[in-house]
Amino acid sequence: MSIVSVPAVDVPRGRTRTVRVALAGCGVVGGSLVRLIRSGHAEVAARHRIRFELVRVLVRDRHRPRDPTLPHEVLTDDADDFLAAESDLVVEAIGGIQPALRIARAALESGRRYVTANKALVAAYGPRLAALARRRGGRLDFESSVGGGIPVVRALRDSLGLAGIRGVQGVLNGTTNFILTRMAEGRPYAGALAAARAEGFAEADPIRDLDGTDAAEKISILAWLAFGVRPDTLPIRRRGIVPHAERLVRDARALGGAMRLVAECVRTSDGVVASVEPAILQLGSELASIQDEQNLVIVDTERNGRIRLAGPGAGGDPTASALLGDMVRSSLRLRSGAGAVKRAATRDPRTSRWAVSVEGHHEERLRAALRMAGISAAPVRRSGGTGLVVTEPVAWQSIADSIARLEAWGAEPVVSRYEMV
């Protein structure tokens, strides 16, 4: 019997290159990245013949004690000093628009490669930064900005580019999914939010997660990659789980389904439409089965069927591992680009069934508002004296008109997309 030895990794020939890295931000994600660069250096060198050298780390407060520790001369709290450092690659894990945008522009303007975890920045300025990178011979990578450690950006940008993407749908926010999972187990909203904070899945101020802003930024980035629509021009119908999380979960339970915050972008005959909204899903369905802080992205394609990518959507280590993947890739000088430019639709032509509920004494108003919009709806029996109906399939605009009318009448309607079969 002959024994064939197979190397564990495909080791490229040649000398190890040093890539000088300037890292902006050393918090949850940046700190994990520093640890990963240190612990993974042998594997990166063996696989790719690259050695990352941290030449500068930008933070807000350089005197604060840090774990991981960094040499005094590497840390700076001065963005000019940070940008002046000679580097090949700038990595950003600060978040928000400024000073991240200034750093991105300066880095790309000078022809350097730029890797970011910042979804707010990519959603607002991604195409302009990508164009700047192309003009100056640099590169923009942002895998970790959507789905944490799930390689969805790469899948859309490269692998599925020619698969004829029809739509992308997913649970993209780990904080809300964790809260909804705990609430389905019977915890009240406040307790579920406290548990999310205790586990590190909710920030001190989690409003951008709870009101759907975070998921909207992510789906706009995915729409850009899937359809070429500029994310800052894509109108997104956005509703989060606040302020009526308890009522949303109660409605889902009354209808025998599971509540999830679903983000999606879809190609229609009118253009690309996108939404982030609470949806009541069949128990056991793909999206309903995603628990806790996990994320799931489903890409519906003409030629490859439905592709599913699931995994931890946030957290320092998964996000840092996606950043490191981008850093390696960026250093290997591979090229790729977003798909052909398509237009965003001005209205959403798709129809859905909607679960609409109001508190008990507004029941008659609910029926009247739907009747005035010409929408027929079936009442749902349940305890608690709350009016709950499920409508026939209608476009969002019809429901939006009814909601506006109900709100003007002083009712506080709660609306979920009804996805039960």
Ligand X SMILES: NC(=O)c1ccc[n+]([C@@H]2O[C@H](COP(=O)([O-])OP(=O)(O)OC[C@H]3O[C@@H](n4cnc5c(N)ncnc54)[C@H](OP(=O)(O)O)[C@@H]3O)[C@@H](O)[C@H]2O)c1
Please give the residue ranges that form the binding site for ligand X (CB under 6 A): 25-30, 58-61, 64, 93-95, 99, 117-119, 144, 148, 314-315, 319
- CA–CA gap between residue 140 and residue 128 (Å, rounded): 10
Peptide bond connecting 206 to the previous residue in cis, omega within 30 degrees of 0: no
Minimal CB distance to ligand X: which residue?
A: 27
- Omega of the bond prior to 68 within 30 degrees of 0, cis? yes
11 sits in the region (left: phi over 0; alpha: psi -120 to 50; else beta) called: beta
From 218, 239, 260, 353, active-site residue: 218
Name the minimum Å distance from CB 396 to ligand X.
Answer: 28
- Nearer Cβ to ligand X (142/396): 142
Helix and strand totals (H; E) in the chain:
14, 17
Q: Which is nearer to ligand X, 168 or 288 (CB)?
A: 168
| Closer residue to ligand X, CB minimum distance, 173 or 391 | 173
CB 172 within 8 A of CB 298: no
Q: Least distance to ligand X from the beta carbon of 238, Å?
A: 17
**The two structure tokens encoding residue 421:** 């079969």
Q: Are 331 and 369 in contact (CB under 8 A)?
A: no
* Contact partners, residue 419, CB within 8 Å, separation at least 6: 257, 262, 279, 280, 281, 282, 285, 352
Our answer to whether residue 342 is catalytic in this structure is no
Helix 396-408 and helix 363-372, axial crossing angle in degrees, nearest 10: 140
| CB of 26 vs ligand X, minimal distance in Å | 4
DSSP state of 13: P
Q: Closest CB to ligand X among 25 and 257? A: 25
Shortest Cβ 322–ligand X spacing (Å): 8
* 8 Å CB contact between 211 and 276: no
Residue 144 or 416 having the CB closest to ligand X: 144
Half-sphere exposure of 34 (CA within 13 A, CB side): 24
Closer of 25 and 138 to ligand X (Cβ): 25
The CB-of-60 to ligand X minimum distance in angstroms stands at 4
User: What's the min distance (Å) between Cβ of 268 and ligand X?
Assistant: 30
Task: State the Cα–Cα distance between residues 91 and 96, nearest whole angstrom.
Answer: 14
The set of catalytic residues is 218
